[in-house]
Amino acid sequence: MNKDQRKILIIVENLPVPFDTRVWQEATTLAANGYTVSVICPKGKGYDSEYEFLQGVHIYRHDLPKEGNGALGYAREYLSALRHEYRLAKRVYAERGFHVIQGCNPPDNIYMVAKRFRKYGVDYVFDHHDICPELFEAKFGHRSGLLYKSQLWLERKTYANCKFAFVTNESYKKIAIERGGMDPADVHVLRSGPRLERLKIQPSKPEIKRGRKFMVGYLGVIGQQEGIEYLLEAARLLRSKGRDDIFWGIVGGGPHLEALRRKATEMGLDDIVEFTGRVPDDVMLDYLNTADVCVNPDEYNEMNDKSTMNKVLEYMALGKPIVQFDLTEGRYSAQEASLYAQRNYAPDLAAKIEQLLDDPDMRRRMSEFGRRRIVEELSWDHTSRALLSAYDTYFKNRGL
């Protein structure tokens, strides 16, 4: 049977497509390899059409209430999403059908939609993006209460209801096996490797540096757990030492953006620190290609230690030497492309940044290593093989 008779529905709740890079890479890769692919996602980030057909992928979007806070807020958000997901899944099933629902967390509740289609022979595949119990702890600082226990329960139920799972790294695979009770053979490491055609190495634009000799770059979500306070403190410490030759470009948007802008102002850093907010890809590439060093200041916690950060891989794809705190998956990704600062300690983060800025030969060696590691091992061209192999095996076992 032809692959175009292999039909997959992907559901993602927390980000729209194609803004969600991992989901979009998965969907377009499957479509390019002959699968019939539909995606259900929320509206937002400039993607407000209820239906689009892009690059061979059918995209269905729904409204979503404002992100919840507290038990009632989260319950309202999740229930609204589940209603829309089920409504749209019924529409997709009627229009073109599907053999599999692939649920992309957070949250860990999309299996509830898939269960409604089990009677039609539809299986559930879990795409584990975030470890929700650890994410809860990182946000709220505790492992107790009804909401935390609900995260553990939903994770267990998700794994109990899935046919097989994709995970982003070996740390997540261990959780799937030990906490989720999965057979190791049914857990596939699918790393979110960058697409090299998107991340192009280009000439720097010195005007971005505002007349400074060096630039330190950051790309990512501006949230409470991203550790950008450590980055601002590192900037303050280096300036206090007389290092007025460094510009700090912080690219990205998020809920903590305005608070961090105010903090930078209070610290007297407005002339050397810029928060760009969310920008188009071409502007993002201008900033990162201009940076001499890129930084991942994610603080140490269970969530960050076990998670693979896309920004680290993107820095490497652009040939940028990195400074970050010493976290398990961050070290696995970057290896010799990074210096590793003492966890959650801004003075050492500042010291490592200064060491790298003052050593052009070290920067060159780290740049070459990182770029080579992406090209030869960690780009999407390599990592996506796990996606295609798992689905090919699954459908062959179904006789499709």
pLDDT tens-digit readout, 315-337 = 999 999 999 999 999 999 999 99
Q: How far is CA 175 from CA 22, 170, 326, in A?
A: 20, 9, 21
Output DSSP code: residue 56. T
Q: List the strands of the sheet with 100-104, edge to edge.
A: 51-54, 57-62, 36-42, 7-12, 100-104, 123-128, 164-167, 187-189
pLDDT of 155-204, one tens digit each? 999 999 999 999 999 999 999 999 999 999 999 999 999 999 999 999 99
The secondary structure of 213-263 as a DSSP string is SEEEEEES---TTS-HHHHHHHHHHHHHTT--SEEEEEEB--TTHHHHHHH
| Summary mean pLDDT of the chain | 95
The stretch 62-66 carries a mean pLDDT of 83
Q: How confident is the model at residue 52 (pLDDT cuts 50, 70, 90)?
A: very high
Q: What is the model's pTM?
A: 0.93
Q: How confident is the model at residue 1 (pLDDT cuts 50, 70, 90)?
A: very low
**Cross-strand pairs, 11:** 40, 103
Contacts of 171 (CB under 8 A, 6+ apart): 305, 306, 307, 328, 329
Nearest to 315 by CA among 294, 330, 339: 294
Output DSSP code: residue 318. T
Could you give the percent of the chain with pLDDT greater than 70? 97
Window from 49-63, 114-128, 211-225, 308-322 with minimum mean pLDDT: 211-225
Contacts of 178 (CB under 8 A, 6+ apart): none
| pLDDT of 221 | 87
| pLDDT of 76 | 81
Type of residue at 242: G
Nearest to 60 by CA among 95, 81, 88: 88
Exposed, middle or buried, 345 (CB in 10 Å: 0-12/13-18/19+)? middle
| pLDDT of 114 | 98
pLDDT at 2 over 60: no
Type of residue at 52: E
The stretch 71-96 carries a mean pLDDT of 89
Sign of the Cα torsion 331, 333, 336, 340 reads negative
Q: How confident is the model at residue 68 (pLDDT cuts 50, 70, 90)?
A: low
Over its C-alpha atoms, the chain yields an Rg (Å, rounded) of 22
Type of residue at 213: K
The stretch 209-219 carries a mean pLDDT of 98
Distance CA 248, CA 368 (A): 23
Exposed, middle or buried, 86 (CB in 10 Å: 0-12/13-18/19+)? middle
The stretch 98-111 carries a mean pLDDT of 97
The secondary structure of 254-288 as a DSSP string is -TTHHHHHHHHHHTT-TTTEEEEES--HHHHHHHH
The stretch 388-400 carries a mean pLDDT of 97
Chain mean position to CA 161: 24
Token duo for residue 166: 């994709």
Q: How far is CA 357 from CA 161, 214, 293, 362, in A?
A: 50, 7, 7, 9
Cβ-contact 349, 325 below 8 angstroms: yes
Contacts of 387 (CB under 8 A, 6+ apart): 26, 29, 30, 166, 188, 190
pLDDT at 70 over 80: no
Q: How confident is the model at residue 71 (pLDDT cuts 50, 70, 90)?
A: low
Residue showing tokens 């050492």: 348
Nearest to 100 by CA among 359, 348, 323, 392: 392
The stretch 232-246 carries a mean pLDDT of 97
